[in-house]
Amino acid sequence: MHVYLQRCGMGNKGMSAGESVTLTLQQVADLAHAVLRRHGLAEAHVGPVAATIIAGERDECASHGVYRLLNCVHTLNSGKVVPDAVPVVHHVSPALLRVDAAGGFAQLAFATGLPLLVEKARTMGIAAMGINRCVHFAALWPEVEALTDQGLVAFACTPSHAWVAPAGGTSPLFGTNPIAFGWPRPGGDPFVFDFATSAVARGEIELHRRAGKPIPEGWTIDAQGNPTTDAEAGLAGALLTFGGHKGSALSAMVELIAGPLIGDMTSAESLAHDDGAKASPYGGELIIAIDPAGFLGAAAAEHMQRAEALFDGITSQGARLPSQRRFAARRRTPAQGCRIPRALYEELAALS
């Protein structure tokens, strides 16, 4: 594989990437497929799992791009994921479905349940899909975008492992628990946000540790409960929630609605299930889809158009929309390629 080697680069959170290589999107895809196949992932899963990793790299989301392949390999080798799991869809009620991922990665389970979720949302106006017994390592925006692509409003969330202290506490209890929201926009990119309810995704702190960089104050505390800018010490201690008690309450909500509500694990239970293996989190995910026509029928289009004034109100004062950076990256990378830290590339190439 021919790759361009260069020195420089700024990650999406402003972290110097050091020496990097530039891969075409096709090379990123080939690498992801090769690594996953070599470590025994069944063919039915390789495409959906690789797709989310390729999308992360394409949209310059370094913490959930090819870096995630390392943990996928580790999870496969640890036996904490069923590599050939066959997801099974269960109709629960006219507006509800469950997908039993049977211990496999979440991506194939999501793809398997998606058509029925869309059908139920269109019929009922709103529908929810609970995915159970899945291994989740990825960003959530590819999933909410799959719904906005169909003209639906979308919400998704999942617990992870207990790495985050509740506001006012010092012991890890919550996961980094991402929440993602998507709103379809006529003729344009959807409005999408997707973030951890911790101050930052744990993956971002891991990237700082790999790069030997300090982390900003406010992300973590060490094992003694003291604030730290040392990535290693922060990973060994606890992440903090974003926005103090507000992120803490949202994180608790994710634990509840994507855990016990759908009969699945909390982040503390997921970490106990992991039993020191350091594999990706295991448990459930909740996805909700709302059809704008459900409330308003034929008048929905007119009201969706009114929503555009809100987005104009944000951008007209120089602020940007969430995901605007990501969509710009998506348009750039097919021509520009994806810049990957050289050390990471070499590690992945050795695994392929």
Ligand X SMILES: NC(=O)C1=CN([C@@H]2O[C@H](COP(=O)(O)OP(=O)(O)OC[C@H]3O[C@@H](n4cnc5c(N)ncnc54)[C@H](OP(=O)(O)O)[C@@H]3O)[C@@H](O)[C@H]2O)C=CC1
Ligand Y SMILES: O=C(O)C1=NCCCC1
Residues near ligand X, by CB under 6 A:
61, 63-64, 136-141, 158, 160, 176, 178, 180, 193-196, 200-201, 204, 281, 320, 322-326
| Sequence-separated (6 or more) residues with CB below 8 Å from residue 204 | 13, 62, 63
Q: Does 127 bind ligand Y (CB under 6 A)?
A: no
Stretch that binds ligand Y, among 100-108, 109-117, 196-204, 293-301 (CB under 6 A): 196-204
CB closer to ligand Y, 200 vs 338: 200
Give the whole-angstrom CA distance, residue 138 versus residue 178.
10
Q: From the list ligand Y, ligand X, none, which binds 326 (C-beta under 5 to 8 Å, kind-based)?
A: ligand X
CB closer to ligand X, 176 vs 248: 176
The least CB distance from residue 70 to ligand X, in Å, is 15
| Sequence-separated (6 or more) residues with CB below 8 Å from residue 95 | 120, 124, 126, 127, 128
Q: From the list ligand X, ligand Y, none, which binds 325 (C-beta under 5 to 8 Å, kind-based)?
A: ligand X
Angle among Cα 168, 174, 175 to the nearest 5 degrees reads 140
CB atoms within 10 A of CB 173: 19
Give the whole-angstrom CA distance, residue 221 versus residue 324.
31
Binder among 112, 160, 266, 323 for ligand Y (CB under 6 A): 160
Interaction mask 278-297, ligand Y, x per CB under 6 A: --xx----------------
Q: Does 137 bind ligand Y (CB under 6 A)?
A: yes
Give the whole-angstrom CA distance, residue 152 versus residue 28.
30
For the segment 44-83, give every residue that binds ligand Y (CB under 6 A).
Answer: 63
The least CB distance from residue 195 to ligand X, in Å, is 3
Q: Which tokens hold the place of 309? A: 């004034």
Stretch that binds ligand Y, among 28-36, 107-115, 195-203, 327-335 (CB under 6 A): 195-203
Binder among 87, 113, 203, 341 for ligand Y (CB under 6 A): 203
- Is position 204 annotated as part of the catalytic site? yes
The least CB distance from residue 91 to ligand X, in Å, is 26
CB closer to ligand X, 38 vs 246: 246
Q: Does 201 bind ligand Y (CB under 6 A)?
A: yes
Q: Which tokens hold the place of 83? A: 């590599």
64, 136, 161, 208: the catalytic one is: 64
According to DSSP, the β-strands at 96-100 and 220-221 are unpaired
Residue 212 exposed, middle or buried by CB count within 10 Å (0-12, 13-18, 19+): exposed
63, 198, 248, 251: the catalytic one is: 63
Residue count at the site for ligand Y (CB under 6 A)? 10
Give the whole-angstrom CA distance, residue 283 versus residue 211.
30
60, 204, 255, 269: the catalytic one is: 204
Give the whole-angstrom CA distance, residue 273 versus residue 163.
14
Q: Which tokens hold the place of 336? A: 């520009």
- Is position 255 annotated as part of the catalytic site? no
Q: Are 89 and 66 in contact (CB under 8 A)?
A: no
- Is position 323 annotated as part of the catalytic site? no
Buried b (16+ CB within 10 A) or exposed e, 59-71: bbbbbbbbbbbbb
The least CB distance from residue 178 to ligand X, in Å, is 4
Catalytic residues: 63-64, 204
Residues making contact with ligand Y (CB under 6 A):
63, 137, 160, 176, 196, 201-203, 280-281
